[in-house]
């Protein structure tokens, strides 16, 4: 999730999140883990429409009183000719008004770029103002400008001696979330851990678990998920997350317990849980129970579950092997024309049609992903990364967006970031042999030879398992096997790594 900020809405719809692997969620809790709670914890109170009428009237009277008092002060200062003091008061009021308006914009989920512009105006007058810099960071986080958000929070935290503990903890959580979304999982873990040493924050526990999944530190992830479960937080989605990690560790009985717990909480909206539990039953050789769960998962007609879970398992669900997002664009003539041009090798011309497709529907991920893949072919990885980033923030469960981003980061010489995305994909597709093959290649680049060998061995094991299951007719519920070429490469790498 996610986010990957990510949280998952088990009814089959994206929440406005943290990540599943964004798990922070900028718009809810599924992309960045930016939430109203974060704003309130940062001292940004005053959400309109929540106060009762009496309280509202009282607040308005207080506001009017303050305005009258301010006007009186300005009049007195003007009469006294103390222009210096008048200027300071005007500047102070300017700052208050700008940040108040920026806060209102963020809380109303309006244009975060406008909130950033207001914060920038304050920073032009007060270059070192902590509140304005913090507001700018939050605005960048909501705008998915993670590099800039990270920088803003870093500057704010340099003045940590001027911050109270609660605010420092929240800023560390937000910075850790920005780092997580940049696939800097190791750095994110440090920042989130420091935040938790000051104050327990659910988002920090969830995001730290996500980062540990990305870096294959599964036991550490389980500890954080367990904390949230024990305190009845974020359930049943945390049961699902912990169950998937138990599955990755081969703890199938524990995985089944977690999935069952989640199903009991949301029996009518549990497609992902049924499908995941079916996998665990199958891994234990309990084929009858597995088939029952697979049938229940699909009978709920949860498109979200099918797209997220089944596409990666069985690419024969699509004639072209492309994602459900692509299938939804059949009526898009620009997209279809771009596909034809790509197939004929006219890549630059295809980009023009994809621009039109994106302009027609900015939320259409298929066009962005295709554009990113073409940009990679044209050796323009930075531009490709930008496309995949946008696609991922629109839907952080779009596995093609994550795959593309991993390839782009690798092309840009950032294997650590590429590996973090492979970690997300393995979490989503625990039986996919090709992902372990890619993991092994990246670990070898990072000179982690022991881990690389383990990944290659896992790829071979899964591939053999999936071949047998395919022959036995279990096609709909298995992972991807290695191609002949990939299998040869894996065996060659294992010889080198002996």
260-278: pLDDT as tens digits = 999 988 887 788 888 889 8
Q: Report the alpha-carbon distance of residue 329 to residue 335 in Å, rounded.
A: 7
Answer for the pair 282, 474: CB distance below 8 angstroms, yes or no: yes
Q: Which of 16-25, 118-127, 281-290 has the lowest mean pLDDT?
A: 16-25
As a whole-number percent, the residues of the chain with pLDDT over 70 amount to: 72
- Mean pLDDT across the stretch 284-291? 85
The two structure tokens encoding residue 138: 């939050």
- Mean pLDDT across the stretch 290-300? 78
Question: CB under 8 Å to 59, separation ≥6 — which residues?
Answer: 51
Answer for the pair 439, 486: CB distance below 8 angstroms, yes or no: no
Q: Which of 315-324, 345-354, 398-407 has the lowest mean pLDDT?
A: 315-324
> 25 phi and psi, to 5 degrees?
-120, 120
For the chain, give every domain's residue range: 431-498
What is the chain's mean pLDDT, rounded?
A: 75
Question: Cβ atoms within 10 A of the Cβ of 391, count?
Answer: 27
Query: Would you call 200 helix, strand, or coil by DSSP?
Result: coil
Q: Which of 234, 478, 303 is nearest to 242 (CA)?
A: 234
The two structure tokens encoding residue 249: 């560790």
Task: Determine the pLDDT at residue 88.
Answer: 58
Task: Determine the pLDDT at residue 472.
Answer: 60
Q: Which of 422, 424, 431, 426 is nearest to 482 (CA)?
A: 431
- Regarding predicted confidence, which is higher, 253 or 296? 253
Assess whether pLDDT exceeds 50 at residue 304: no
Task: Determine the pLDDT at residue 471.
Answer: 65
- Regarding predicted confidence, which is higher, 321 or 177? 177
- Mean pLDDT across the stretch 429-458? 88
- Regarding predicted confidence, which is higher, 175 or 466? 175
Q: Report the alpha-carbon distance of residue 47 to residue 40 in Å, rounded.
A: 9
- Tokens 């009858």 sit at which residue? 288
> What does the DSSP 8-state code read for residue 47?
-
The confidence band for 112, taking pLDDT boundaries of 50, 70 and 90, is confident
Q: Report the alpha-carbon distance of residue 185 to residue 213 in Å, rounded.
A: 9
The confidence band for 311, taking pLDDT boundaries of 50, 70 and 90, is very low
- Mean pLDDT across the stretch 444-470? 86
Task: Determine the pLDDT at residue 15.
Answer: 30
- Mean pLDDT across the stretch 307-316? 30
Assess whether pLDDT exceeds 70 at residue 138: yes
The confidence band for 190, taking pLDDT boundaries of 50, 70 and 90, is very high
- Regarding predicted confidence, which is higher, 144 or 229? 229
Helix (H) or strand (E) holding 357: helix 347-360
Question: CB under 8 Å to 496, separation ≥6 — which residues?
Answer: none
- Regarding predicted confidence, which is higher, 69 or 371? 371
Task: Determine the pLDDT at residue 206.
Answer: 92
Long-range contacts of range 488-493, CB-CB < 8 Å, 24 or more positions apart? 489/437, 490/437, 490/440, 490/456, 490/459, 490/460, 491/460, 493/440, 493/441, 493/444, 493/452, 493/456
């Amino acid at each position: 999730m996610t986010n990957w900020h990510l949280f998952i809405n088990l009814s089959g719809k994206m929440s406005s999140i943290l990540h599943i692997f964004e798990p922070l969620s900028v718009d809810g809790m599924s992309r960045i883990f930016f939430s109203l709670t974060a704003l309130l914890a940062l001292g940004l109170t005053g959400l309109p429409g929540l106060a009762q009428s009496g309280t509202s009237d009282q607040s308005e009277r207080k506001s009017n009183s303050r305005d009258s008092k301010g006007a009186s002060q300005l009049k007195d200062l003007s009469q006294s000719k103390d222009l210096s003091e008048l200027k300071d008061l005007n500047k102070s009021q300017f700052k208050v008004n700008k940040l108040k308006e920026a806060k209102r914009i963020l809380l109303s989920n309006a244009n975060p770029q406008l909130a950033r512009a207001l914060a920038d105006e304050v920073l032009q007058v007060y270059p070192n103002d902590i509140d304005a810099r913090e507001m700018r960071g939050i605005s960048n986080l909501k705008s998915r400008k993670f590099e800039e958000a990270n920088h803003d929070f870093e500057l704010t935290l340099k003045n940590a001696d001027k911050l109270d503990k609660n605010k420092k903890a929240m800023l560390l959580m937000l910075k850790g979330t920005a780092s997580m979304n940049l696939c800097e999982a190791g750095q994110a873990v440090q920042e989130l851990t420091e935040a938790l040493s000051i104050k327990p924050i659910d988002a920090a526990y969830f995001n730290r678990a996500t980062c540990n999944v990305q870096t294959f530190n599964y036991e550490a992830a389980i500890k954080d998920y367990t904390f949230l479960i024990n305190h009845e937080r974020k359930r049943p989605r945390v049961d699902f997350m912990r169950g998937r990690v138990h599955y990755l560790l081969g703890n199938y009985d524990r995985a089944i317990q977690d999935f069952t717990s989640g199903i009991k909480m949301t029996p009518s909206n549990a497609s992902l849980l049924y499908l995941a539990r079916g996998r665990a039953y199958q891994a234990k050789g309990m084929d009858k129970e597995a088939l029952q769960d697979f049938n229940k998962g699909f009978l709920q007609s949860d498109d979200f579950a099918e797209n997220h879970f089944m596409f990666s398992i069985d690419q024969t669900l699509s004639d072209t092997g492309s994602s459900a997002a692509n299938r939804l664009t059949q009526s898009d003539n620009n997209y279809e024309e771009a596909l034809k041009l790509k197939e004929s090798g006219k890549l630059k011309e295809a980009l023009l049609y994809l621009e039109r497709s994106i302009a027609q529907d900015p939320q259409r991920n298929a066009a962005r992903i295709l554009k990113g893949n073409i940009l990679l072919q044209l050796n323009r990885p930075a531009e490709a990364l930008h496309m995949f980033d946008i696609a991922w923030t629109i839907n952080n469960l779009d596995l093609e967006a994550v795959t593309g981003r991993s390839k782009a980061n690798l092309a840009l010489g950032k294997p650590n970031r590429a590996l973090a995305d492979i970690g997300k994909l393995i979490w989503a597709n625990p039986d996919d042999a090709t992902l372990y093959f890619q993991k092994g290649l990246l670990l070898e680049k990072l000179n982690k030879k022991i881990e690389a060998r383990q990944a290659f061995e896992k790829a071979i094991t899964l591939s053999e398992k999936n071949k047998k299951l395919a022959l036995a007719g279990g096609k709909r519920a298995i992972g991807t096997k290695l191609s002949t070429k990939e299998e040869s490469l894996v065996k060659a790498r294992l010889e080198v790594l002996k």
